Chains A and B, each alone.
Chain A
Amino acid sequence: MIKQIIKKQALLFIRNPMQIVLLIGLPIILIFILGNALGGTMDGSSSPINAKIAIIEHQSETKQIQQLLDETNGEPINEHTAIGMTPIQAFTSLLQHESLEEIITVEQIPLEQKQNALQDESYTAIIEVPPSFTYDLLSHSLLEKDEAPVLRIYENEQQPIATSIVSDLVDNFQHQLTLQAFLKQQSIDQQALAVESSIFNATKKTINQTNTISASAYYTVGMTVMNVLYIASTIGAVAFMEKRMYVFNRIIIGDISRWVFFTGVLFSGILFSFLQIMIIFTFSWTVLDVSWPNISDMLLVSLAFSVAVGGITVLLTAVSYRLHSETITNVFSNIIVVLMSFVGGSFFPFGNYSSLVHALGTITPNGAGMTAYLSILKGESFMDVSTHIIYLVLFGLTMTVIAATSFPKRGQSI
C-alpha cells in the first residue's frame, strides 16, 4: 500500500506541470540568476567598487626629463636611470595594473577639460599634475634641489570608499617613490631588495587549504536545500486535501492502518526530496559544471537531508490533521522556509558575518545540509560531514516521532 501511496503522489506531481516548474525549474533559474549576479562577489573576480580616475598633466613628463638631462649633462642622472624615474607614468601604470582593472578605470584628459571633469560626478578622483612636476620631483629627490612638488587630488565625497582606495594608492606610491630615491642616493641596488616572484606558486585555496567554491556551486547547494523544503509543504498540502476530501477516511474505512498512510507520506517526502536533489544536481553538473569530488558522500548527505525533509512532511501533515487546518503548511511554505533559508545561508553566507546567524543556521536542516554539501565541495573528509549527516537523520527521526504522537489516533478523525 505504501508503494501505491508513493505512486499516487508521483502521478499527482506529473499531472501538475506548474508544481514541477516550481520545484525543479525555479531553483534552476535561481541558481542561474544568483550564480551570475553574485558570482564575482563570491569568488573575488569582480568588485562592487568602481573608481574612475582622471589624470590631467600640465606638461609632458618626457620633456621634463629631457630638460633635466640637458641641464645636468648626465650627472648624477644619466639617460638610463632617468627612464626608470618617470613618476607619473609609473603611477598611471600602477593604476592600470591588471589586478586593479576591476576596480579602477584611468582616463588621461587634457587640461582644457578640467572644469568639465570637476563637474562630472562619475569621477572618483581627479589627479592634477602641475607644470614641471616630474622635473621638480627628480631635482628634489636626486639632486636635493628645490622644494618637493605637490600633486593636487580632487576627491569625490560621494564615493568615500573608492576615494579612500585612491588615496591609499597615492600614499603607497609616494612611499615607494621616496624609498626608491633613497636607495638611489645610497647606491643600493633595488633588485637586491626584490623578492623573486617565482617562489610563490600556489593555487587558489581558502585559508583552510581547501578548494574554493564557485558561485554556481554555492547556489546549486543553497537553492537546492531551500527548494527541497517545499516538497514537505507540497506533500503536506496534498495529505491535508486527502483529509478534507474524505480520501483519508476512505482509506481508514478500507481497513488500512493510519500508520500505513503516515509511512506512505513519510516515504513520499523522503523519496521525492531525494529525486529533486538529484535532478537539480545533475542539471548543475551537466550545464554549470558543478561536480562533486566525492559522489558517495554527496549521496549520503542527500539521503540524510531527504530523511529530514520527510520528517518535516509528516510533521506538517500531522499538525494540519490535528488542527483541521492547512494554515501550518501555508505558514511553513510562505514564511518558515524563507527564514530557514536566510539563516541557513541559501541566499548569502550570512553566517560568515554573524556567529548568531551561523549558530541558528546550523540547527536548521537546510543549513546543516548546506554545510555538509559545501564541505564535500571543498574536498573535506567524510569525518567532516558525518556530524551533519547524523544530525540530519536525527532531526528527521525527531520530527517523525513528534508527528506520530500528534497524528490523530483511531476514532478521532471525522
Chain B
Amino acid sequence: MLELVDLSKKFHQTYAVKNMNMFIERGEVIGLLGPNGAGKSTAISMMSSLITPTTGDVRYLHKSILKSPSPLRKVTGIVPQEIALYDDLTAEENLAFFGRIYQLKGKALKRRIADVLDVIGLTQRSKDLVKEYSGGMKRRLNIGVALLHEPELLIMDEPTVGIDPQSRTHILETVQRLNTEKNMTVIYTSHYMEEVEFLCNRIYIMDQGQLIAAGSKEELKQILSSEKIISIQVTNVKETFTHALSEHPLVNNIKMKGKEIKITVDKKANLFPILIHMTEEASIELLSIHVETPTLEDVFLHLTGRALRD
C-alpha cells in the first residue's frame, strides 16, 4: 500500500531521516518506535506528503506521491502529536470545520460527525467548547477529526501523550477496533512500548534518523534470543561495583534504575556465583535476583544503548 524508498531529509547539515526504507500492507498496524529526536515526526511528515524529502521516494499503490500527493491525501487521516483543534469551538464545530476540509457536507457530514462522536465517546459533550475538555477528551477528539472521512490509512503520531490511563485505554481499543472492523491501516508512533506491543503487527525502530531494526514483535525479541537479562536489587549502588560488573567478560550490557540493575549476559553464562562474590567484595547486600524474558524495551535498549524515554 505505502512504500518508503531510501527516504532522507536533511535540514541544513543534519539528516533528520537517512535512507529509510519501509513498506506497509493494507490492514496492518505498524509501530514506529524511537526516542525523542529519532526522526519519527519527520518521517511521518514525508510519508503523509507534508514535506518533500531531500532524496528518496514515497509510493502509494506503487506510484510516487511527490508530484501528485492527492490520491494518498484523500485516503489518509493524520493524528498529530499536537492537539490540532480550535479551543474556542465546540467538538461539533471542530468536526464540521475539518469535515468540510474532507469535502463532506450536508447530511453526510452530519452523519459522520455523529458517528465519529460515538466512536470517540464524546456524543454527550459534543456541544461543549474544547477548552472545557480534559486532556484525554481533547486527544480523543484529535483522533476523531482524522476519522471523519473514513480514511484507509491512519497515521498517529504519539496520540496518547500526557493523558489519563482511562482515555489511553479508550484510544488503544478504538484503534484496534478500527483496524479489525474496518481493516484500517495504521501507522502508530509512540514512546510507550506497551502500546506498540498491544497494537502493532510489525514494528520499526528508529534512532538518530535511521531505521535500526524492523520486524514482528517475536522477530525483534529474537535479537535477544541468545541473551538473557538478570535483574538484581541491592541495598546501595557503588560505582566500584557497577564498574567491575560492566567490565566483566561475561557481561554484555548493564542498565541501572535506582537500586535495580539489569545485566544482559549470554544465555548460557552462569553469573550467579560471580554476582554473589562481587557484592560481598563491595560490601553490598543483595536483596533479590531473577532472570527476565526479553521485552521490546530490552531490545530497544540493546540496539540503541538507551531507554526509549531517555
**B78-100 with Cβ < 8 A to chain A:** 78, 80-86, 88-89, 93, 97-98, 100
- Report the minimum CB–CB distance from A411 to chain B (whole Å): 3
CB atoms of B86 and A247 under 8 A apart = yes
- Among A244, A251, A414, which residue has its beta carbon within 8 angstroms of that of B51? A414
Q: Is B233 an interface residue (CB 8 A)?
A: no
Q: How far apart are the CA atoms of A189 and B42 in the complex, in Å?
A: 101
- Among B51, B74, B84, B100, which residue has its beta carbon within 8 angstroms of that of A246? B84
CB atoms of A8 and B101 under 8 A apart = no
CB-defined contacts of A80 to chain B, threshold 8 Å: none
CB atoms of A250 and B129 under 8 A apart = no
CB-defined contacts of A244 to chain B, threshold 8 Å: 82
CB-defined contacts of B81 to chain A, threshold 8 Å: 246
Q: Is B145 an interface residue (CB 8 A)?
A: yes
CB-defined contacts of B222 to chain A, threshold 8 Å: none
Q: Is B45 an interface residue (CB 8 A)?
A: yes
Q: Is A335 an interface residue (CB 8 A)?
A: no
CB-defined contacts of A246 to chain B, threshold 8 Å: 80-82, 84
CB atoms of A245 and B73 under 8 A apart = no
CB-defined contacts of A12 to chain B, threshold 8 Å: 86, 88-89
Closest to A409 in B: B52
CB atoms of B80 and A249 under 8 A apart = yes
- Among A4, A16, A247, A411, which residue has its beta carbon within 8 angstroms of that of B88? A16
Closest to A4 in B: B100
A interface footprint on B49-92 (CB within 8 Å = 1, 0 otherwise): 11110000000000000000110011010101111111011000
**B196-226 with Cβ < 8 A to chain A:** none
Closest to B53 in A: A411
Q: How large is the interface on B (under 10, 10 to 19, 20 to 34, 35 or more residues)?
A: 20 to 34
Q: Is A22 an interface residue (CB 8 A)?
A: no
CB atoms of B70 and A255 under 8 A apart = yes
CB atoms of A11 and B89 under 8 A apart = yes
Q: How far apart are the CA atoms of A161 and B52 in the complex, in Å?
A: 72
CB-defined contacts of A15 to chain B, threshold 8 Å: 88-89, 129
Q: How far apart are the CA atoms of A3 and B292 in the complex, in Å?
A: 60
Q: How far apart are the CA atoms of A410 and B82 in the complex, in Å?
A: 21
CB atoms of B51 and A8 under 8 A apart = no
Q: Is B8 an interface residue (CB 8 A)?
A: no
Closest to B145 in A: A250
Check A250/B100 contact, CB under 8 A, given A12-B88, A255-B74, A413-B51.
Answer: no
CB atoms of A253 and B48 under 8 A apart = yes
- Report the minimum CB–CB distance from A90 to chain B (whole Å): 72
CB atoms of B86 and A411 under 8 A apart = no
Q: Is A48 an interface residue (CB 8 A)?
A: no
Q: Is A117 an interface residue (CB 8 A)?
A: no
Q: Is B102 an interface residue (CB 8 A)?
A: yes
**B104-158 with Cβ < 8 A to chain A:** 129, 145
Q: Which of B98, B100, B129 gathers most chain A CB within 10 Å? A: B100
CB-defined contacts of B93 to chain A, threshold 8 Å: 8, 11
Q: Is A254 an interface residue (CB 8 A)?
A: yes
Closest to B157 in A: A246
Interface size of A in residues (CB-CB distance below 8 Å): 25
Q: How far apart are the CA atoms of A412 and B69 in the complex, in Å?
A: 14
Q: Is A252 an interface residue (CB 8 A)?
A: yes
CB-defined contacts of A383 to chain B, threshold 8 Å: none
B interface footprint on A245-281 (CB within 8 Å = 1, 0 otherwise): 1110111111110000000000000000000000000
Q: How far apart are the CA atoms of A43 and B48 in the complex, in Å?
A: 64
CB atoms of A250 and B78 under 8 A apart = yes
CB-defined contacts of B42 to chain A, threshold 8 Å: 414
Q: How far apart are the CA atoms of A256 and B102 in the complex, in Å?
A: 8
- Report the minimum CB–CB distance from B305 to chain A (whole Å): 28
- Report the minimum CB–CB distance from A167 to chain B (whole Å): 65
Q: Is A1 an interface residue (CB 8 A)?
A: yes
- Among A1, A8, A255, A414, which residue has its beta carbon within 8 angstroms of that of B73? A255
CB-defined contacts of A413 to chain B, threshold 8 Å: 50-51
CB-defined contacts of B80 to chain A, threshold 8 Å: 246, 249-250
Q: How far apart are the CA atoms of A16 and B45 in the complex, in Å?
A: 33
B interface footprint on A396-412 (CB within 8 Å = 1, 0 otherwise): 00000000000000111
Closest to A19 in B: B88
- Report the minimum CB–CB distance from B12 to chain A (whole Å): 14
- Report the minimum CB–CB distance from B189 to chain A (whole Å): 14
- Among A1, A16, A245, A411, which residue has its beta carbon within 8 angstroms of that of B101? A1
CB-defined contacts of B86 to chain A, threshold 8 Å: 8, 11-12, 247
CB atoms of B52 and A411 under 8 A apart = yes
CB atoms of B97 and A4 under 8 A apart = yes
- Report the minimum CB–CB distance from A23 to chain B (whole Å): 15
Where the two chains meet, the residues of B that have a C-beta atom closer than 8 Å to any C-beta of A are: 42, 45, 48-52, 69-70, 73-74, 76, 78, 80-86, 88-89, 93, 97-98, 100-102, 129, 145
Pick 14 A–B contacts, CB within 8 A, sort by A.
Answer: A7-B97, A8-B93, A12-B89, A15-B89, A244-B82, A246-B81, A246-B82, A246-B84, A249-B50, A250-B101, A253-B49, A253-B78, A255-B69, A256-B101
| A-B contacts besides A4-B97, A247-B86, A253-B50, 19 pairs, CB < 8 Å | A1-B101, A8-B89, A11-B86, A11-B89, A12-B86, A245-B84, A246-B80, A246-B81, A246-B82, A247-B84, A247-B85, A250-B78, A250-B80, A253-B48, A253-B78, A254-B101, A255-B69, A410-B52, A413-B50
